[in-house]
Homo-oligomer: A and B are copies of this chain.
């Protein structure tokens, strides 16, 4: 009997893991990773050697923190770390016409060659209020398995802590910076919240927290509820939820350094 010719084994495709990061990015203090990340998430992350990220420097810093708890499979300097293109950082992953801003499939070639990959942003869940969804979409299109790992998501922690309706809500990103446009947008969101009972969540660059708070307290109706959550998962974490008229009586302005999520509702 002659041996049958063997075909070279096709490598099976890798998995794309969505790896959450702690929320202390850019903050003065850091909390231990086991404060906000399950052991399983850290263990999976420690075994990944190919990354797609928002920022390579902060990814390396995060890997260093993981390594201290769960030794990395490969040293940081030999890991492959690719940044998402600049254009998706602010403009998002999806073109106005529904077309992708860039073809993310090229970033996924290690996964197509059989390596597990990690998608990570600077804080929280990648692709949620952060870039990365074009990569996830491309992964599905390439037939890769996509596995989201559990970790902190400031939007949902803030929603739970708001006392506002969690059975219907929307996240709208950033409000306009122009004061008149911002006030108009605040009234529009308040209208959705009051008429439909849909809690409205939004965020601001920390150095504009105080200005946004001021605009909200001035613009919203007295009986609208305004909640905010700052520094979630950190020692200085603070959640508050009051009617606008109560905020006016007890003004407590959020600081301009700590990431804050705002929510309004009825």
Of all A-B residue pairs in the complex, the 9 with the closest CB atoms, nearest first, are: A137-B163, A170-B170, A136-B163, A34-B39, A148-B157, A140-B241, A128-B166, A98-B266, A35-B40
When chains A and B are docked, how far (Å) is the Cα of A169 from the Cα of B202? 11
Q: How far is the CA of A25 from the CA of B62 in the complex (A)?
A: 32
Pick out which of these stretches binds chain B: A74-82, A211-219, A232-240. A232-240
Distance in angstroms between the alpha carbons of A47 and B75 in the assembled complex: 38
Q: Does A123 contact B (CB under 8 A)?
A: no
Q: Indicate if A160 sits at the interface (CB-CB under 8 A).
A: yes
CB-based contact A133/B164 at 8 Å: yes
Residues of chain A whose beta carbon lies under 8 Å from any beta carbon of chain B: 18, 32, 34-40, 92-94, 96, 98, 125-130, 132-134, 136-140, 145-148, 150-153, 155-173, 194, 197-198, 223, 225, 227, 229, 232-233, 237, 239-242, 266
CA distance A114 to B137 in the complex (A): 49
Which residue, of A198, A229, A241, has the highest number of chain B Cβ atoms within 10 A?
A: A241
- Given contacts A129-B167, A148-B232, A166-B130, are A140 and B242 in contact (CB under 8 A)? yes
